[in-house]
A and B are shown apart, each in its own frame.
Chain A
Amino acid sequence: MQIYLPIAEVSVNAFLLLGLGGIVGILSGMFGVGGGFLLTPLLFFIGIPPAVAVATGANQIVASSVSGVLAHLKRRTVDLRMGTVLLVGGILGAFLGVGLFNHLKQLGQVDLLVNLFYVVFLGIIGSLMMVESLRALRKSRRGAPPARKKHNWVHGLPLKMRFRTSGLYISVIPPLVVGFSVGVLAAIMGVGGGFIMVPAMIYLLGMPTKVVVGTSLFQIIFVAAFTTVMHASTNHTVDIALALLLLIGGVVGAQVGTVVATKLRAEQLRVLLAALVLAVCLKIGLELLLEPSELYSIAETH
């Protein structure tokens, strides 16, 4: 069934969009990532103009994150206090990021920069997670007791706050900094930033994996909502019809994903996410390295 999208001005298969939304939704519920880093390139691939794909992707992420957070709230696996602290940093970072993005757009080469950001960040995070979670998986298989939480430099900073749900008593500075940097990256890369946020929460802040997913989703809702309104009001690139189809698939997928996540062990979950992140990294990396079949590209300048 073909459907014409009013803002994207292309006609696409409705079931394809539902399926795409569903896959991204499952990932969202399983890993606590918004799925933007996967959805946006997939939308490019099926012929949605990049600007529309980025903006509408953000809108779809709001829906699947809301659905995911509600499921996690029921399970009490959302650290609202930590989420709020991260969010404050995130919004400030997004402001800076949007400014930076517009500046780079004037210089040209913004596409290259976005792709390089993807490769570098997905590559680093993917490999770190993969190594760490494989090690953890091997350890737990041997039956050794899990390593006790180590106190690192993060715990020596002032302005300490108690995060009950996470079982942490740490300074608010690291979460603010994490939120801020993710906000900057999110605005530049046009994603919610979950794939950076989740590992940062686990490895930098030392939060338990179960809480990380819900808290990340909570924070993503607001960053993605902010991005959506910014894009809609300045670039007119949010396509409601596209978003609606993606999010119908997405919200259902998110619920399925949350159920799947409770059936898997935390280490397995992390290995899977790492593999996914590395796969996307590899794909974007190859595009930069291999000679493209068409050297020329067309951009409409309105």
Chain B
Amino acid sequence: MWRALALLCALALPASAEEVVLGLSQDSVSISTDFDGSEILIYGAIKRDAPMPEEPIQVVVTVAGPSLPVTVRRKSHAYGIWVNTAAVEIDHAPSFYAIATSAPWDEAISNVEDMRHRVSIPHAIRSVGAPMDVLNSQTFTEALIRIREDNDQYQLLENAVTLREQTLFDTSISLPANLTEGRYPTRIFLTRGGQVVSKLETEIEVRKVGIERWLFVLSREQPLVYGLLSLAIAAVAGWGASALFRMIRQQ
């Protein structure tokens, strides 16, 4: 993994004077039957070739879930009942997104850099074209963010990165229980005065294991077998309970 990281560093920003050396408490998350969320510790150090400039450095860490298209619908009052009357398709919305910073948001990164690297939650969501007949399509994106923030699927954690001696940093990101399987791109930005001076990208792999994996794969690859299996379980359970109760009653 270290070689891969080193390669990534080299490719990303070869001319940078300050680079991130990264560690993860785990680079994969296994979803087993008793999975109810997970905490990932992200830590590292800043390597320097030149003396440290005056202005303090800041660290921004983002962890994103797989991006999926979503439809956001809005209800309104029509014919005396509340019905869905408008819908906006959002082309890419990460199923999970957490940002941790070492300073208040405004000090950590400038607007321009935020837009360029798609760091903040609104920029991480991409909505290409809203239908012409929908007014204020922006409110749909805001609603998506609001709902997902309430579910802890989107988290903005200001001042959550601890930075020591301008060199060592660490933060922990808690992944919720309703996690989607996939690759979770993780980015670490070093900023100075709001400008990104260095950037590192890696991935955390989230996957189901054991019986969870087996059932999931079966349901996708052998849907008919899976369907019949669930029927068989249902029938046997029904019969089993009936037989058991008859035995209890006879005694």
Contact = CB atoms under 8 A, between A and B. Distances in A.
A228 B140 contact: no
B241 A67 contact: yes
A255 B237 CA distance: 12
Interface stretch (A173-181, A192-200, A241-249): A241-249
Interface stretch (A96-104, A204-212, A230-238): A230-238
With most chain B CB atoms within 10 A of its CB, the pick from A11, A68, A236 is A11
A288 interface: yes
Given A4-B33, A66-B237, A67-B237, 13 more contacts: A4-B34, A6-B208, A6-B215, A59-B231, A63-B234, A112-B84, A228-B230, A229-B227, A229-B228, A247-B233, A251-B237, A255-B245, A300-B68
A233 B224 contact: yes
Interface residues of A, number: 60
30 contacts: A2-B35, A2-B36, A2-B177, A4-B33, A4-B177, A6-B212, A6-B216, A6-B219, A9-B181, A11-B35, A11-B178, A59-B230, A59-B234, A66-B235, A109-B83, A111-B84, A228-B234, A229-B224, A229-B231, A231-B227, A232-B219, A232-B223, A236-B226, A238-B227, A240-B229, A247-B237, A251-B237, A291-B82, A297-B73, A300-B70
A143 interface: no
B34 A66 contact: no
B241 A7 contact: no
A62 B32 CA distance: 27
Interface of A: 1-4, 6-7, 9-11, 47, 59-60, 62-68, 70-71, 74, 108-109, 111-112, 225, 228-229, 231-234, 236, 238, 240-241, 243-244, 247-248, 251-252, 254-255, 287-292, 294-302
Given A6-B212, A236-B223, A297-B72, A62 B234 contact: yes
A194 to B, nearest CB: 15
A7 B231 contact: no
Interface residues of B, number: 63
A302 to B, nearest CB: 7
B158 to A, nearest CB: 25
B116 interface: no
Nearest to A297: B73
Contacts of A234: 223
A292 B237 contact: no
A253 to B, nearest CB: 9
Contacts of B89: 301
A292 B81 CA distance: 11
Contacts of B73: 296-297, 299
B14 interface: no
With most chain B CB atoms within 10 A of its CB, the pick from A4, A47, A231 is A4
B81 A289 contact: yes
With most chain A CB atoms within 10 A of its CB, the pick from B31, B148, B227, B233 is B227
Contacts of A289: 80-82
Contacts of B239: 66-67, 70
B141 to A, nearest CB: 10
Contact of B241 (A228, A238, A243, A252): A252
B179 interface: yes
A288 B84 CA distance: 11
A244 B215 contact: no
B33 A60 contact: no
A82 to B, nearest CB: 21
Given A4-B212, A229-B228, A301-B69, A240 B178 contact: no
Contacts of B52: none
B227 A10 contact: no
B227 A248 contact: no
B7 to A, nearest CB: 33
